[in-house]
Each structure stands twice: as structure tokens, then as C-alpha cells.
A and B are shown apart, each in its own frame.
Chain A
Amino acid sequence: MRVVYRILAYVIAAEVALQAAFMAYAIAGLYIWVQDGGVLDSAVLESEDVPFDEAVGFMLHGINGMMIIPVLALLLLIVSFFAKIKGGIRFAVILLLWVALQIFLGLFGHEAAIFGLFHGIVAFAVYGTAFMAGFRAKRPAPEPAVGNAPQ
């Protein structure tokens, strides 16, 4: 379970990097598309048709951020109950809260751009917490003697 915990935590940290990469990729594609004469307005934004290939980055960011990362964070919490890592549950809970906050900030960014700014900053909190959780799980916590006694 300790290994599963570590892998999950590091995967979540890597997911944060991917999230940033998806956005940078999509925004670069958007810029090129507009340079080529594309016109971006509400209707294009709301259209489910993809006007340029790199727009897949926006979709991946949404699916990854609203579905995959929260599921991973939940799994990490459940695994933490069994993994006997000192502070493991606490880190998993904090990470889940960061992820929840991050989703709300991402959605609120559609209302006020300032939330988007915080969304970028909280990404580092998600990354840092996930990385620390994985890092801390490296060494087993000393088992109490009674627990090691043969049954």
C-alpha cells in the first residue's frame, strides 16, 4: 500500500505539470489559428466543433482536472487509510481539499478572471502537496512492537 500511495501521489504531481502543458499547447494553437484568420467569439467558444487541432489541450485540461485528478486524489485518500504512513492521511486530505478548491477556482475563472490567477497559484499547492506526500512515504514508519508480535 505504501508503494501504491507513493505512485499515486507522484502521478498527481505529474498530472499538475501535464495540466499546465495542455493549456500552453492549446493557447499556442489558438494564437496561430487567430493569426491565420480564425475569429474567436462566444459561438466558437461554445461550439463543440474543434476549430484548431491544439484545442484538444483545453478539453484534456478540463477532463483531466475535473475527472481524473479528483479520482486519483480520492483513491490516494482511501489508500492512505491502509498504507500506515505517518501523516499520510493528513496529506491525502489536504491534497483532496486543494484539488476541490482548484476545480472551483477553475470554474469561477469563467466569471471573474482573478480566480484564474489564483487557479495558477493553487496549482503549485496541489503539486507541492502531492510531491511531499509521495516523498514522505519513502521510509516506513516504525511499527509498534505489539503490532509486530506473531498472532
Chain B
Amino acid sequence: MRLSRRAKTLVAVAAAVAVIAPIAWFWQASLVPDAYSVADMGRHDHGGGAPGGAASTIPVDELTVPADREADVRLTLTAAQERFTLASGREFDGYTLNGSSPGPAIRAVQGQLVEVTLENASVPDGVTLHWHGVDVPGAMDGAAGVTQDAVGVGESFVYRFVADQAGTFWYHSHQVSHEQVLGGLLGPLVITPAAGAGAEVEALALAHLYGGRRTVNGRDGEDRVAAEPGDTVRVRVVNTDFGVMPVWVDGAPFRVAAVDGTDLHGPAEVEGAAVEVAAGGRIDLVFTVPESGVVRVNLSGAALLVGEGGAAASKPPDDVLDLLHYGTKAPVGLAAAAPDREFEFRIGRRPGFLDGKPGFWWTVNGAMTPEVPMFTVAYGDVVRMRIANDSGEAHPMHLHGHHAVVLARDDVAATGSPWWVDSLEVRDGEEFEIAFVADNPGIWMDHCHNLPHAAEGLVAHLVYEGVGAPFLIGGPAGNRPE
């Protein structure tokens, strides 16, 4: 059969339309509005619980510490976008708080009320502060567009929270965070028990990559803290970067005293093994300075030297400490076997459009943002969550406002100390079973702390029944939490 020229052209046009039309449809369907509430995102997942019967709604920004309580620790942090000099002399274009990056270390004693006024001097996109690992009241979480509007240039915002948990934490901007955290808008936060943390020397080792080079406490290469032989030392390691960081110690055996701001139970002495710190995660190491006088805490390319004298850089040990079986068992204090809600957080990846941009994007339970699940809970629920990663890459998962206990990995039950996390490294092919108590009303981001991944859609939310979302993603404040 021979077709006329016109018929041939028509067939060609039809074929072209058949190729282009589905692509155009998917593209169009992926576009998100300029402003939307997270409450309207995706699908509400009640995790097997009864869907919402909250009689009244309280907006998330009213979940605060009573205003009449006097602050114990009070300071102002002024954010700026500028070129600055690292403690080691290198110049860097990024962000500062009170003129430096990392920002000042905030210290509080357990139970004190911390009040931080954030002022934005010159960050055009706006800023916020998120208290990473601290289970602050709902209004104080610092997630732009979720719990507050981004603080524009010349504006300010007051954060108030009670430092209930003793441990190592950090703070960072949660507005355009994949750029602002990378650029240094962050700092350490240490909360100590009233009786002290039980060490003669306490030191911070906050690791951050400036321009792809790892620094410790803002110094290239090495930082040093004074200690005498025989001193017990607690080193608070903070990983502010987007990937897991191996930490190993030369010169003394050590114990992992705490993970993500929670003390471990019965941690044994470790020698010849590295400890991995997830992106956003923290570990506290405790050791005794030996007679030789120096201990080197290696942070993969940077190091903290404790004591006097030199210690050369070393290769990381092959063995890695498995926290699933580290320390001794103790009651976790929640009925994980009889949860009120059970959720799945399956991470995948597929081709498609993300707000009109083609690529291979992350999926949560098979759907791409904004069709991600909204995990819905009621106050007091015991929640179990299975995080399964089949996306081809590792994801450090960070749940705001809560600490979860690890029950099992790949169906192998945890046998060590209760392992409470807020930042959990979930490698490709791994499945974690975690549990937590929904005891902190609010709207909480539950996302990958490899922050560019969050910007690529790897974000879900945990929402309490009866909590309203008055803020908008986008909108006049230009809120972009990721």
C-alpha cells in the first residue's frame, strides 16, 4: 500500500505527537504552585490509626514555651552572607553568624531556658535556625514554610526552648538549607547535665567542608585542645556535612559515650575500629590521655589533637563499629511491640519531572514530591516506622522534633544499648525498623540530611492531629526549607 505525501506527513505528525504528548503531560502534571501549605501535600497516612478526630486546631506557631518564663541563656546571632577568613587563614565565600563560621558555640545546662534572637543582616534568601537534635516546641523548629517564615534581611526572630536533653547538638539554617548549611550557616550547641558530663576535659570537634576541604572547628587540618596524661576527655564530634564521616582514634582506646545527644548504656572500650557519624549526626567519644601525652581523633582529612606533641595522620581502620550490637541492653521505655501507628518510609528513585525539571528523582513510597506521604499521628501514640532504602544511594534520614530508637536493621534485632537517633544513615539496600513516641505536637520534617537530596524531593512530614499549618512553602517570604 502506498500512502500519499499528505497521509505520510499526517502519520509523521501523529507519531511525533504520540512521543511528545505523554512527556508534556507528565511535565505539566509535575508543576507545583508558587505557594502551598505542607498540609495540602501528598497523602495523609494514618498508619493504621483512626483518622483525625481532633476537636480544635492549634496553629503550629502557638506551640511555644510560656512567654513569662525568664531565659537563662540569652544571645543574639546575626547572620550575614560574606567572604570571611577561616580560623586557619583560608578565605571562603559563604555565610557567618556573628562574623564567624562555624557560629559561636552555644552552651547551656540541662533544664535552662535558651533564648536566641536571630537577626538577618544580609542573607538575601532569608534565614532560619533549626536546632538539630533538640526536641524543641513545634513553633521553634526553624523549618521555613513549615513552622515559621524565613527571616528576611533586616528582620529578626526569637527562638526559645528549654534545654531538656543533655548532649551534643548543632544549629543551622533551614531556609535554602542545601546552600546555606554548605556555606557555613551553622554552629555547635552543647547541653550539659547540672552535675557535669563526667570528664576533666571537654572538647568540640565540629567537622565541616568548606570548599570541599574538611575543617575541624573551622580550622583546616588540625585543631588542638590541652589535656594532661591521665585526664578523661570527652570529644563531641558533629558531622555537619552531607555524607557519612568515619572517625577513628589513635593513641588510646575509647568509648562511644553518646550518639545523637543520647548517652549509650554500658559502652565497651573500642580499639582498632572506626565509628561512622551520619550526616547531621553526632557522637561523643570518651578516652583517657595516655602517658605518651597525645591522642589523635581523626575526622577523615582533619583531626583534633588532644594533649601535647604530634601524632601523624593514619589510615582509617578496616573495622567499623556496629552500633546495633554495641553497649549493653537496657529498657527502651516504650511499647514498640504494640504500636498505635505503623508507617513505611520506602525510598526509591525513578525518572520523571520534579516541578517541571526532568531527571532521576527520589521517591517516597513510590511517589515523587509533592505526592509524598504525610505521616499523621495523635499525641501520645507509639509509632513504628520501617525505613527501607532501595534507591541506589545512601540516605541519612533526619526526623525533626523526636528521637527514635533503632529496633532492627535488615530484620536483625538490636542487641546493644538502646540506640536513639535523630540522624540515621540508611545505606542502599538497608531496612531499618525504628520506634518513637509522638510526644511533641507540631508539624515536623522527616527528610534526608544529604540536603541536596532533600531539595530533590526526599522530604516527608510528620503531622499531629489538631495542629494547623499557617505557613506556606514559597509565598511572600520565599520559604524554601530544603
Contact = CB atoms under 8 A, between A and B. Distances in A.
B209 A108 contact: no
Contacts of B5: 147, 151
A43 B241 CA distance: 6
A111 B212 contact: no
B212 A42 contact: no
- Which range holds the interface residue count of chain A? 20 to 34
Given A81-B12, A82-B12, A111-B392, A42 B213 contact: no
A34 to B, nearest CB: 11
Secondary structure dominating the interface of B: mixed
A144 B2 CA distance: 8
27 contacts: A38-B212, A38-B301, A41-B245, A42-B244, A42-B245, A42-B394, A43-B209, A43-B245, A43-B279, A44-B212, A44-B214, A44-B301, A46-B279, A47-B242, A48-B178, A48-B182, A49-B211, A66-B360, A78-B15, A81-B12, A82-B12, A84-B8, A107-B349, A111-B392, A111-B429, A144-B2, A151-B5
Given A46-B242, A46-B452, A81-B15, A67 B358 contact: yes
Interface of A: 38-39, 41-52, 55, 66-67, 74, 77-78, 81-82, 84, 103, 107-108, 110-111, 144, 146-147, 151
A151 B209 CA distance: 71
Contacts of B207: 43
Given A50-B212, A52-B212, A67-B359, 6 more contacts: A38-B301, A44-B212, A49-B210, A78-B19, A81-B13, A110-B428
Contacts, number: 103
A4 to B, nearest CB: 13
A68 B213 CA distance: 31
B392 A49 contact: no
A151 to B, nearest CB: 8
Contacts of B359: 66-67
B292 interface: no
Contact of B393 (A51, A81, A110): A110
Secondary structure dominating the interface of A: helix
B211 A39 contact: no
Nearest to B207: A43
Nearest to A83: B12
Nearest to B210: A49
A54 B198 CA distance: 48
Interface in B203-241: 207, 209-214, 239, 241
Interface of B: 2, 4-5, 8-9, 11-13, 15-16, 19-20, 23, 178-179, 182, 207, 209-214, 239, 241-246, 279, 300-301, 349, 351, 358-360, 392-394, 428-429, 450, 452
Contacts of B213: 38, 51
B20 A78 contact: yes
A78 B239 CA distance: 49
Contact of A107 (B4, B12, B15, B360): B360
Contact of A47 (B9, B11, B182): B182
A78 B207 CA distance: 51
Contact of B212 (A49, A77, A78, A81): A49
B200 to A, nearest CB: 31
B12 A45 contact: no
Contact of A146 (B2, B16, B246): B2
B392 A107 contact: yes
Contacts of B209: 43-44, 47, 49, 51
Contacts of B428: 110-111
User: Which 6 pairs from chain A and chain B are nearest by CB?
Assistant: A51-B212, A39-B301, A42-B243, A43-B243, A43-B241, A81-B12
A108 B2 CA distance: 45
A110 B428 CA distance: 10
B301 A41 contact: yes
Contacts of A43: 207, 209, 214, 239, 241-245, 279, 300
A74 B212 contact: no
B4 A47 contact: no
A84 B11 CA distance: 12
A147 B428 CA distance: 57
B426 to A, nearest CB: 13
Contacts of A111: 392, 428-429
Contacts of A45: 243
A151 B11 CA distance: 19
Contacts of B300: 39, 41, 43
Contact of A46 (B15, B301, B429, B450): B450
A146 B330 CA distance: 88
A114 B306 CA distance: 43
A51 B211 contact: yes
A1 to B, nearest CB: 9
Contacts of B2: 144, 146-147
A46 B392 contact: no
A82 B301 contact: no
A45 B209 CA distance: 11
A142 B46 CA distance: 65
Contacts of B245: 41-43
Nearest to B276: A42
Contacts of A67: 358-359
A74 B19 contact: yes
